[in-house]
């Protein structure tokens, strides 16, 4: 982008239209001006693209749901209802109109924030989800942070100790944890920390609760104890999500660092007589961690899948649990809304990854993607 727009900018500056006489004709003023303009343009373009993607996902879901056999109106009124009642329900749900009319009505409502009423709960969808989204975000953001901290640390330790027993041991351990399905790991953690810990008289802090976000008596606890109570409830869900994520991340970090280590410039640094630790930190880590930024975008869908299972198992009142309940009850408005939110989060995560990559690696900043 930049190399193409640069000559035009040069012309503008040379014309003296928006630059001072001091800078007219000089070249060093050019890069200060044009990239910013193109950055805004690119951001807007990316934003439009992201919105388009979310709309695409929502449209696809709408079509798939509406092509499905079975009559939501029949589910709504129950099997005992007569034909007249069924017709009334069809009209109330808007099912007597054509697919296109329904699609556009729904889309306009969705864009303007009218997300409809949950069929199962008889509450506005926005109300149902506004309570759930923060719980899910708390879980995902915290586990994402922990995943990266632990994953990068373990991966770096492995790369530095490449081909030692420590490295092999950690590689095998990572592969084992990475292969475990989230729902199974969650159940195993409950088995150990919620059932066995009290049975075998383990210390109090290792006896962790298996359900909900806080204890029943949470309202009567002081601020510190309430915080600890929350933390204890979050422990097992977080461990489940973080363990699997960190195992995958450290595999990636280890390989990425080892790939960079083989490159010529590392050899040059070594030939110059630079100390090993200096090379590892200044050259290998700095370049090897770059691809991890892209991992952020790639790992989000898997993280959200994991969260759905974890929320169901630990009775965590988040979006995943709401969604599974909605799916089982065929609560279409809630299903559509959760799909849209999940898609938006995934797309936003990818955009953030692209942006961070640009920040971290100036070489890619101006390449058209």
Partner 1 sequence: MSPLKKLLRDRRSLAGAAILGVMALAAVMAPVIAPADPIAQGDVIANRFLSPLESGGDGIVHWLGTDRYGRDILSRLIFGARISLSVGLLSVTVAIVLGVAIGVTAAAFGGAIERALMVLTDVFLALPRLVLLLTLVTIWDSSLLLVVLVLGFTGWMSIARLVRAEVRSLLSRPFVDAARAGGISLNHLVWHHLIPNSVTPVFVAAALSVGNAIALEAGLSFLGLGIPHPAPSWGNMIAAGRDALVNAPWISVFPGLCVALAVIACNLLGDGARDALDPRSPTF
- Of 251 and 283, nearer to partner 1 (C-beta) is 251
Q: Which of 325, 298, 316 is nearest to 139 (CA)?
A: 316
Q: How far is the CB of 323 from partner 1 (least distance, A)?
A: 6
Q: How far is the CB of 282 from partner 1 (least distance, A)?
A: 22
- Of 289 and 347, nearer to partner 1 (C-beta) is 347
Q: How far is the CB of 24 from partner 1 (least distance, A)?
A: 41
Question: 117 by DSSP, 3-state: which?
Answer: strand
Q: How far is the CB of 20 from partner 1 (least distance, A)?
A: 43
- Of 35 and 248, nearer to partner 1 (C-beta) is 248
- Of 104 and 195, nearer to partner 1 (C-beta) is 195
Q: For residue 288, what are its two tokens?
A: 């090897």
Number of Cβ within 10 Å of residue 49's Cβ equals 11
Q: How far is the CB of 158 from partner 1 (least distance, A)?
A: 13
Q: For residue 57, what are its two tokens?
A: 């996902």
Q: How far is the CB of 191 from partner 1 (least distance, A)?
A: 5
Number of Cβ within 10 Å of residue 87's Cβ equals 15
- Of 54 and 160, nearer to partner 1 (C-beta) is 54
Q: Say how far apart CA 34 and CA 257 lie, in whole Å.
A: 35
Q: Say how far apart CA 191 and CA 168 lie, in whole Å.
A: 29
Q: Say how far apart CA 72 and CA 56 lie, in whole Å.
A: 23
Q: Say how far apart CA 289 and CA 256 lie, in whole Å.
A: 7
**What single string gives the DSSP state of each residue in 333-356?**
HHHHHHHHHHHHHHHHHHHHHHHH
CA angle (303 as vertex; 144, 153 as ends), nearest 5: 35
- Of 283 and 321, nearer to partner 1 (C-beta) is 321
Residues that bind partner 1 (CB under 8 A): 52-54, 56-57, 60-61, 64-65, 68-70, 175-176, 178-184, 187-188, 190-191, 195, 251-252, 255-256, 258-259, 291, 301, 304-305, 308-309, 312, 323-324, 327-328, 330, 335, 338-339, 342-343, 346-347, 350
């Amino acid at each position: 982008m930049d190399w193409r727009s640069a000559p035009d900018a040069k012309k503008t500056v040379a014309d003296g239209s928006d630059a001072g006489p001091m800078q007219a004709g000089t070249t060093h003023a050019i890069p200060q001006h044009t990239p910013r303009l193109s950055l805004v343009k690119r951001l807007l373009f990316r934003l439009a693209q992201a919105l388009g993607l979310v709309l695409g996902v929502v449209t696809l879901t709408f079509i798939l749901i509406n092509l499905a056999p079975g009559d939501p109106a029949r589910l709504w009124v129950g099997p005992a209802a007569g034909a007249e009642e069924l017709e009334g329900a069809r009209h109330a749900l808007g099912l007597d109109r054509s697919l296109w009319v329904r699609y556009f009505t729904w889309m306009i409502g969705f864009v303007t924030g009218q997300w409809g009423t949950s069929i199962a709960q008889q509450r506005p969808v926005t109300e149902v989800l506004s309570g759930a989204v923060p719980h899910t975000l708390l879980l995902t953001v915290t586990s994402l942070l922990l995943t990266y901290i632990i994953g990068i640390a373990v991966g770096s330790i492995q790369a530095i100790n490449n081909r030692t027993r420590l490295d092999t041991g950690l590689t095998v351990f990572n592969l084992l944890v990475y292969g475990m399905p989230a729902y199974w790991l969650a159940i195993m953690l409950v088995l150990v920390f919620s059932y066995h810990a009290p049975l075998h008289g383990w210390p109090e802090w290792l006896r962790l609760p298996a359900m909900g976000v806080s204890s029943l008596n949470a309202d009567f606890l002081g601020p510190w104890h309430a915080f600890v109570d929350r933390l204890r409830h979050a422990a097992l869900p977080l461990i489940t999500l973080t363990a699997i994520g960190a195992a995958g991340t450290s595999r990636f970090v280890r390989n990425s660092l080892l790939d960079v280590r083989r490159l010529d410039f590392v050899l040059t640094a070594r030939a110059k007589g630079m100390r090993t630790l200096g090379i590892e930190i200044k050259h290998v880590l700095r370049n090897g961690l770059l691809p991890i930024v892209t991992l952020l975008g790639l790992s989000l869908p898997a993280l959200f899948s994991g969260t759905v299972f974890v929320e169901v198992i630990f009775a965590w009142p988040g979006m995943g649990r709401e969604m599974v309940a909605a799916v089982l009850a065929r609560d279409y408005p809630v299903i559509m809304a959760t799909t849209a939110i999940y898609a938006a989060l995934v797309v936003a995560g990818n955009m953030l990854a692209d942006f961070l990559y640009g920040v971290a690696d100036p070489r890619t900043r101006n390449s058209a993607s």
